[in-house]
C-alpha cells in the first residue's frame, strides 16, 4: 500500500501528526461494536503480528512505553540498591521508570552528532551496583549494537533498549528488537506508528515475557478451578483491544511510513546545508534509520536570539516545532544526584539548541520546502 502523493494543505503545519485513514477508523468502530474492548482477540493478534515482525520473539503490549520500561526493569529484578546507566539526553520517562522501581538512574553523556549514549562514558560509569544499561536509539538511529552488547557481556549487565523512537529501525538489516535482550517501543501519536497511546516489549526470554504478562495485570494468575491468585505485586498496564486494533493496521503500513520519512529527510538534507545557516544537522544514518524526528541544533550564540524567539517566528508563519529533549540531569527531580551545569556538555548543548522540525508521513515535499524557506528567512534576518 502506498501513501497518497499529496496530503491536504494545512493552515498550520504541526511538527508531528499520526497517519490515520478511514479504513483504520472503520476498524476501530468494528472493534467497539464487537463489545470486546480490552485484553481480548485484538491484543492477541497485535502481539502475534509484533512477534512476527521481530523474528518470532515474544511480544507483550502495554499502555505506554513508560509502563514497558518499568515492567522490563521489574522483570529483570532491578530495584532498590541497583544502578541503571542511561543517557542524560533522552526523554524523562527513562529516568522516571528507573526511579519508580527504587533503583538509581546513572546519567552519562551522549555523542553530539548521533545523540546516542556514549559507550565509553557508560563503561566508565559502571560500578559493582550497576545492573543494566538503558540506551535510547535517538530519533530512530540505532546505537552501535555490536559494541553495546559486547560491553554488556563484559560486565554481565542486562540491556533494556529504549526503542520508543525506533520501531522499524534496523541494525545491519535486522529490526531493532529482533535480537539483543529487551526492547521497549512506543505507540504515542508522535511516533512512527500509533495505537493512540500504548507501547510494547519484545523479549529474548519467553519466561520474562510471561512474567510481564502477569505484572501488567495486577500479578494475577488464573488457577485451574477458575479462581485467581496474585503471584507478585503488579500494576494495571494492559492494552485495550481498541488500541490494539489500530496497532494492527498501523504495523501493516509501518515500513511504508518509514520509507516516506526517509524521503522527507532527504529533502531536509538537500535544503538545509549546515554552512548556509550555521545549523548542526543530525547524523544521517543508513536505510535502517526510521527517522522519528528531524532535530538540528541552532547556532544560538551566533544568532543572538533565543530558541523560543525562533520557535515563535516559525509559529507566526504557520509552522510548529518542538524541543527534543531537555537534559534530564538538570531537571528539578534529578538534581539531587549531584549533577549540574557542565556535568554532561553534549547533552546540555543539545538541550539548549535542539529544534524539532515537522516530520510525518503525510507531509509533502513542498511543505518541507516551506519549513526550510521559513527557517532560512528567520536565521538570516
Domains and CATH numbers, the chain: 22-249 (3.40.640.10), 255-379 (3.90.1150.10)
pTM: 0.95
Measured in Å, how far apart are the chain's first and last C-alpha atoms? 43
Going by C-alpha positions, the residue among 128, 88, 126, 78 that lies closest to residue 109 is 88
CA–CA separation, 44 and 306 (whole Å): 48
- Choice among 191, 211, 236, 308 that is catalytic: 191
CA–CA separation, 354 and 156 (whole Å): 35
Residue 168: pLDDT band (50, 70, 90) is very high
pLDDT at 9: 58
191 catalytic, yes or no?
Answer: yes
Residue 1: pLDDT band (50, 70, 90) is very low
pLDDT at 6: 45
CA–CA separation, 135 and 112 (whole Å): 15
pLDDT at 277: 80
From start to end of the chain, where are the E strands? 59-62, 83-87, 104-108, 130-133, 158-162, 170-171, 174-175, 182-186, 199-203, 220-222, 228-230
Going by C-alpha positions, the residue among 108, 131, 102, 111 that lies closest to residue 121 is 108
CA–CA separation, 135 and 138 (whole Å): 9
Grid coordinates representing 216 are: 501488567
Q: What's the average model confidence in pLDDT over 159-172? A: 98
Does the pLDDT at position 160 exceed 90? yes
Amino acid at each position: 500500500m502506498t501513501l497518497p502523493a499529496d496530503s491536504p494543505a494545512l493552515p498550520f503545519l504541526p511538527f508531528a501528526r499520526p497517519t490515520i485513514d478511514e479504513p483504520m477508523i472503520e476498524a476501530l468502530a468494528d472493534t467497539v461494536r464487537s463489545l470486546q474492548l480490552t485484553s481480548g482477540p485484538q491484543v492477541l493478534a497485535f502481539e502475534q503480528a509484533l512477534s512476527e515482525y521481530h523474528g518470532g520473539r515474544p511480544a507483550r503490549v502495554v499502555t505506554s512505553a513508560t509502563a514497558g520500561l518499568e515492567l522490563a526493569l521489574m522483570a529483570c529484578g532491578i530495584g532498590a540498591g541497583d544502578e541503571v546507566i542511561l543517557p542524560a539526553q533522552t526523554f524523562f520517562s527513562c529516568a522516571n521508570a528507573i526511579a519508580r522501581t527504587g533503583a538509581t538512574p546513572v546519567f552519562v553523556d551522549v555523542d553530539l552528532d548521533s545523540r546516542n549514549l556514549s559507550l565509553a562514558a557508560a563503561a566508565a560509569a559502571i560500578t559493582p551496583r550497576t545492573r543494566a544499561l538503558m540506551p535510547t536509539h535517538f530519533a530512530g538511529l540505532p546505537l552501535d549494537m555490536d559494541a553495546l552488547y559486547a560491553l554488556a557481556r563484559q560486565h554481565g549487565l542486562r540491556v533494556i533498549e529504549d526503542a520508543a523512537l525506533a520501531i522499524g529501525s534496523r541494525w545491519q538489516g535486522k529490526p531493532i528488537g529482533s535480537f539483543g535482550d529487551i526492547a521497549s517501543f512506543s505507540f504515542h501519536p508522535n511516533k512512527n506508528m500509533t495505537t493512540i497511546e500504548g507501547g510494547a516489549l519484545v523479549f529474548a526470554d519467553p519466561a520474562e515475557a510471561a512474567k510481564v504478562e502477569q505484572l501488567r495485570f495486577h500479578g494475577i494468575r488464573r488457577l485451574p478451578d477458575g479462581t485467581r491468585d496474585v503471584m507478585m505485586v503488579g500494576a494495571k498496564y494492559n492494552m485495550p483491544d481498541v488500541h490494539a486494533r489500530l496497532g494492527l493496521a498501523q504495523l501493516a503500513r509501518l515500513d511504508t511510513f518509514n520509507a516516506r520519512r526517509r524521503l522527507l529527510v532527504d529533502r531536509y538534507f538537500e535544503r538545509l546545508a549546515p554552512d548556509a545557516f550555521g545549523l548542526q544537522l543530525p547524523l544521517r544514518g543508513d536505510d535502517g534509520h526510521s527517522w522519528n524526528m528531524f532535530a538540528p541544533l541552532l547556532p544560538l550564540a551566533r544568532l543572538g536570539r533565543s530558541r523560543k524567539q525562533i520557535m515563535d517566528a516559525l509559529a507566526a508563519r504557520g509552522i510548529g516545532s518542538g524541543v527534543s529533549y531537555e537534559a534530564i540531569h538538570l531537571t528539578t527531580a534529578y538534581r539531587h544526584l549531584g549533577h549540574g551545569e557542565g556535568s554532561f556538555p553534549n547533552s546540555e548543548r543539545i538541550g539548549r539548541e535542539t529544534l524539532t522540525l515537522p516530520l510525518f508521513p503525510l507531509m509533502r515535499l513542498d511543505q518541507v520546502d516551506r519549513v526550510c524557506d521559513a527557517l532560512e528567512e528567520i536565521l538570516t534576518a
